[in-house]
Amino acid sequence: MPRAYDPLAGDRAIFDALIDARDKYGAKKPILEDQERNPLSYTDLIRAAFALGRKIAGMTEKGERVAVLLPSSVGGVVTFFALHAFGRVPVMLNFTAGIRNLRVACKTAGVKRILTAHRFVDQGKLEDLIDALDNEYQVTYLEDVRESLNVADKAFAALAGAFPRLFRAHARHEDPGVILFTSGSFGAPRGVVLSQGNLIANVVQISTHIELDPAWVMFNPLPTFHCFGLTGGALLPILTGMKAFQYPSPLHVKQIPSLIRDSGAAILLATDTFVNQYARSADPGELSGLKFVVCGAERVNTETHNLVTTRFGDIPLLEGYGATEAAPVIAVNRPDRNKRGTVGDLVPGMEIRIEPVPGITDGGQLFVRGPNIMSGYLDEGGVLTPPVDGWHDTGDIVTLDEEGFITIKGRVKRFAKIAGEMVSLAAVEALAAGVWPGARHAVIAMPDARKGEKLVLVTDRLDAQVGALSAHAREIGVPELIVPARIVRVPEVPLLGTGKTDYVAIQRMAESEARAA
């Protein structure tokens, strides 16, 4: 059974929590690995953090915000802890966001220096991106830093690794732990400051909510610039004794299933889209060793549940719900309490309130409060705006059933008013998925002179027709009002680097297609 929730367990600094984990699970326990297959123990990780951190400290000031432009990897995790070892604040940059958004992120966070790696830049073909940033910021390559390590640096790392509490920078749980940026699914990304206590509290909340075994391996292909990948894929396993296996891209559909098997992974973090793709490409046995899969960022489709069960047996897909502002997990299903169609029940320590929204009768707007809720948003002037009275407005419309399970009905911004009726765009996407379950669909609203707004379906199902949607709507008894007026067929529905649907790009695509029509 999961242990009892301790609300004070999150009142720690991040590097202190790492040292606590070493003391609890054993200094020699392998705890971090990536596709290079050179695992690090707790002692290795702490030593590496001190060695790298000492060099970075020589280039930066105490409390400085330092950008990290790296994939999910051993190097990325070591860099995160290296910054904390010397009292610097990691700013995790989304390398898929484009130069404009990266410039805004760096300006918002007040960044002077960006840490990256030659190998990553070469393999990701990011030379143009780095060239643009190099004109405004000091770009430091980790390979160059490692080559500069001398005997004195290594001796310091060995001594600090033996007595880490004597050498680590003192920090409080309320100090900044990381600066992240929201996904930008519906607009420009926002800077979010999470305290060290926010991150540790969420680790404690998750590990209390779901029983975890330190003997397990967590396979994380999600980027650490996304809070799900950082907290769930790196901090959670390392701080609870599980090995964190980092993989640099969720897009490597053919390579990941065999690596899940070879790494002995018990838990996979992913999105519905990627789980569906892995299940289709995997050979028998490659995923069957998983205890469960935790899915976030998008709704888990029934087809994905059925596909995994049919091909690999009873592997629970645990749909969860979170937000960058919540570090990120707010609710999640559990292996022994997994209710399809919901995002599970709240993790311990969370408070919620659901407020009515005019015109929406099924559900209300969700506000959350707890120890994992952010310190605040950063504006471009560097001003921090904390949530009012600790409450974060998720912007989501939800329902709560009698057992405490939450169902997401859609975002407030993703409701259209058609002929005076409020229509959930998420419900329209579900309608399309019911007709063409193997395809990806996105629905947006556009102005309409007669009805106020009209629905447009963007889909990669190239033979999609409105008539099929109308027939399915009649069959399941939903009003014709939710059937899209127009379909835009595309070879590929745009996604963000996190795997979420890129509704900003889709809106532009639909508007461009409408102008050309």
Q: What is the pLDDT of residues 489-503, one digit of tens each?
A: 888 888 776 667 777
Enumerate domains of the chain plus CATH numbers.
419-516 (3.30.300.30)
* Confidence class for position 175, pLDDT limits 50, 70, 90: very high
pLDDT at site 498: 62
The rounded distance, in Å, linking the Cα atoms of 423 and 415 is 5
pLDDT at site 422: 67
pLDDT at site 313: 79
* Confidence class for position 18, pLDDT limits 50, 70, 90: very high
Cβ neighbours of residue 394 under 8 Å, at least 6 residues apart?
323, 325, 330, 365, 366, 367, 368
Q: Map residue 327 onto helix, strand or coil.
A: coil
pLDDT tens digits along 318-334: 999 999 999 999 999 99
The alpha helices in 62-195, defined as continuous H runs, are 74-85, 99-109, 118-123, 127-134, 142-147, 151-162, 164-167
Biggest CA pair distance of the chain: 76
Q: Map residue 331 onto helix, strand or coil.
A: strand
The rounded distance, in Å, linking the Cα atoms of 345 and 330 is 8
Which two three-digit tokens encode residue 494?
A: 């745009």
Q: Is the pLDDT of residue 479 over 80?
A: no
- 39-54 burial, b at 16+ Cβ within 10 Å, e below that, comes to bbbbbbbbbbbbbbbb
* Confidence class for position 420, pLDDT limits 50, 70, 90: low
The rounded distance, in Å, linking the Cα atoms of 332 and 326 is 13
Crossing angle (nearest 10°) for helices 151-162 and 42-57: 130
Of residues 173 and 473, more confidence is placed in 173
Q: Regarding beta strands 406-411 and 392-400, do their DSSP bridges make them parallel or antiparallel, or are they unpaired?
A: antiparallel
Q: Which of 40-44, 83-87, 204-208, 276-280 has the lowest mean pLDDT?
A: 276-280
* Count of Cβ atoms closer than 10 Å to residue 122 Cβ: 10
**Rounded mean pLDDT, 348-362:** 88
Q: Is the pLDDT of residue 20 over 90?
A: yes
Q: Is the pLDDT of residue 351 over 90?
A: yes
Query: Are 157 and 54 a contacting pair, CB within 8 Å?
Result: yes
Supply the Cα-derived Rg of the chain in whole angstroms: 23
* Confidence class for position 474, pLDDT limits 50, 70, 90: confident
pLDDT tens digits along 365-411: 999 999 999 999 998 777 899 999 999 999 888 999 999 999 988 77
Query: Are 178 and 230 a contacting pair, CB within 8 Å?
Result: yes
pLDDT at site 398: 92
Where would I find the beta strands (DSSP E) of 310-429? Answer: 317-322, 329-332, 345-346, 351-357, 360-369, 376-378, 384-385, 392-400, 406-411, 415-418, 421-424
Q: Map residue 488 onto helix, strand or coil.
A: strand
Q: Is the pLDDT of residue 2 over 60?
A: no
pLDDT at site 80: 98
137-141, 412-416, 427-431, 485-489 — most confident range? 137-141
Q: Is the pLDDT of residue 434 over 70?
A: yes
Its pTM stands at 0.85
The rounded distance, in Å, linking the Cα atoms of 294 and 302 is 15
Q: Is the pLDDT of residue 509 over 90?
A: no
pLDDT at site 458: 87
Which two three-digit tokens encode residue 96?
A: 């898929």
pLDDT at site 49: 97
Q: Is the pLDDT of residue 184 over 60?
A: no
Q: CA torsion, points 226, 238, 210, 249, in degrees to nearest 10? A: 40
* Confidence class for position 421, pLDDT limits 50, 70, 90: low
Least Cα distance to 109 among 33, 189, 38 occurs for 189
Query: Are 243 and 271 a contacting pair, CB within 8 Å?
Result: no
Cβ neighbours of residue 147 under 8 Å, at least 6 residues apart?
none
pLDDT at site 281: 87
pLDDT tens digits along 98-157: 888 888 889 999 999 999 999 999 998 899 889 889 889 999 999 999 999 999 999 999
Where would I find the beta strands (DSSP E) of 123-274? Answer: 138-141, 176-181, 191-195, 217-220, 243-246, 267-270
Percentage of the chain beyond pLDDT 70 is 95
pLDDT, mean over the chain: 88
**Rounded mean pLDDT, 262-290:** 89
